[in-house]
Amino acid sequence: MALPFNMPDEFVRGFFNSGQMLLQAYTGAAGQTGSVSTHPQQPALALAQAQAHYWQQQMVLYMGMMASAMGQAPEPAVQPERGDRRFNADAWRDNPWYSLLKQTYLLNSRLLNDMVEAAVVEEKEKHKLRFYARQFIDSMSPANFAATNPEVMKTAVETQGESVRTGFANLLEDLQRGRISITDESAFEVGRNVAVSKGFVVFENELFQLIQYAPLTDKVAERPLVIVPPCINKFYILDLQPENSFVRFACEQGQTVFLVSWRNPDADLGHITWDDYVENGAIKAIEVSRTINGADKVNTVGWCVGGTILSSALAVLRQRGDEPVASLTLLTTMLDFSDPGDLGVFIDEQGVSQREQTIGRGGIYSGGELGFVFQTLRANDLIWPYVVNNYLKGGTPQAFDLLYWNADGTNLPGPMYAWYLRNTYLENNLCKPGRLVMCGTPVDLGKIDIPSYIFGTQEDHIVPWKGAYRSTQLVGGETQFVLGASGHIAGVINPASKNKRSYWTDGTLGDDPEAWLASAKSQPGSWWTHWISWLQQHAGKQIAAPTGAGNAKFKPIEPAPGRYVAKHAPEVLGA
């Protein structure tokens, strides 16, 4: 099954290199791509054991099929993992042909996984093998092909072939769009039913707009809250709907909220650097917010790469002797990139050098490519179900605000992106005191000597929680770590009003994140209530809520959510 977009070069190269590496691990074939054991008997023995188990299971499968042919109901040789929804249809269980397909696929998948685990290679290369083996295994599921998916065949018969025609039309539309449709995008509009919190844009430059939200209480904290979201996504994940809006929650708790809305870069911003995001982005947002509010300091929140930008900005300010910030909150943010999770499989010297040579001196990195990378981290949730539904069954994806936001990607300026790849994921320079110079200033995260609230999520596939935890050992000042249940998005956007999931607090801080977790206390519900109690300690006294947005110097420009967030650059749409 073809996919309706171009895969990034890093993905294609990594896929074939991993296959070559696995082949060499067992055969000693030429063309080594990773560090492989010089003792071939070790993987050979493990391979023999995996093959023996495989054939035992095949025999169980064969005997089961014979029993089924005689009218008996045998136990399956292998079952899908819990939560695997690909084989939920009754035919995968009741029809002998489809049952055989399913079980054969699952046994072959396990054999390939066993081969990967038995290969004696360096751990970094083993991680790549696991990742690309999973991509191959997921893609080859019989559920992904029309002739081997009973639901697809049934739908085609019931609709007299109309589902086939509609599916092909859906494929053509997505080819034009440059990405798979994962939600009904016509159901949402920024400013109409997502990103609807009231406020005004009170400042803008070529890089971002600053939104000041209207207060929802008569009294507000003296010190405002400045939020720096990721620049790789639109900010309104923090303001999807009123019932799950982090922005609205903060306003309801008496905070004056300022939020950065990054511009979606086009060719005109192809020159923008990392330093621009630090100086003309985060630092400027802090300066303007503080000026408008008239406070001595502001409190700050950064999410994901927004947290990396914000931390860089605070390190620069501290080195300059400026102290405009009272506290720092980092949400699923990495400052130490020694364990970048699955995203690390895309990063190597060859790929980073290629980006530096092509867009590093000017150009745009397409949000479409970046979106594909994130989808591969959860391919069985974000790729293959939509391939089956949209193209094989001729269906239309349901309306879902979170997936609408997920599809509303953003580009990145080439110089900024290339610098970020090399100095974080590839060389991990940010966590090394004085290694990097930003905005003309040596950076030392340890100089950020203010209270910090550092939040990670247990199932995060983008920022592994142990990587988020390492920030506690990098920044100065009093530090608190909180671990939330669920993943990168759902773990953060966990409204207090719904009282769902749980979080862990009050572990003993030290070098070992597992030791922290062992000593931490589990708390039911949302971490939002815990965070706001912490934040209020640094928010200053209560004052009357402002009656309007901005001030004499920074006057309201337009209502929230502003123009920048509504912009879809051609590169994002794959045009």
Q: How many residues does the chain have?
A: 575
Q: In 3D, which of 377, 370, 349, 352 has the Cα closest to residue 412?
A: 370
Closest CA to 326 of 286, 280, 292, 291: 286
Instruction: Say how many C-beta atoms besides its own lie within 10 A of residue 550's C-beta.
Output: 19
Separation in Å, CA 417 to CA 269, 346, 355, 409: 12, 14, 8, 15
Task: Phi first, then psi: give them for residue 302, nearest 5 degrees.
Answer: -130, 140
Q: Look up 439 and say whether it is catalytic.
A: no
Quick one: DSSP state of residue 387? I
List of E strands, 139-238 = 199-204, 208-213, 219-221, 225-228
- C-alpha distances (whole Å) from 399 to each of 150, 188, 396, 404 are 26, 8, 9, 8
- The candidate with the shortest Cα–Cα distance to 227, out of 333, 322, 330, is 330
Ramachandran sector of residue 226 (left: φ over 0; alpha: ψ -120 to 50; beta: rest)? beta
For 362, the 3-state DSSP assignment is coil
The residues near 312 (Cβ < 8 Å, ≥ 6 apart) are 274, 278, 282, 430, 438, 443
For 213-282, give the DSSP string: EPPSSSEEESS-EEEE--SSS-GGGGGSSGGG-HHHHHHHTT--EEEEEE----GGGTT--HHHIIIIII
End-to-end CA distance of the chain: 22
Annotated catalytic residue within 231, 304, 431, 439: 304
> Over the range 33-70, which residues count as b (16 or more CB within 10 Å of their CB) and which as e?
bbebeeebeebeebbeebeeebeebbebbeebbeeeee
Residue 219 phi, psi dihedral angles, 5° rounding: -115, 145
* Alpha-carbon span 500 to 452, nearest angstrom: 25
Distances 499 to 250, 282, 486, 496, 534 between C-alpha atoms, Å: 16, 32, 14, 5, 18
The span from the CA of 198 to the CA of 214, in Å, is 6
Q: What are phi and psi of 142, to 5 degrees?
A: -60, -20
Q: Which residues pair with 300 in a beta bridge?
A: 226, 328
Distances (CA, A) of 364 to 298, 487, 571, 572: 33, 29, 8, 10
Q: What is the C-alpha to C-alpha distance for residues 336 and 107, in angstroms, rounded to an integer?
A: 38
Of 450, 248, 486, the residue nearest 378 (C-alpha): 486
Task: Give me the active site residues, please.
Answer: 304
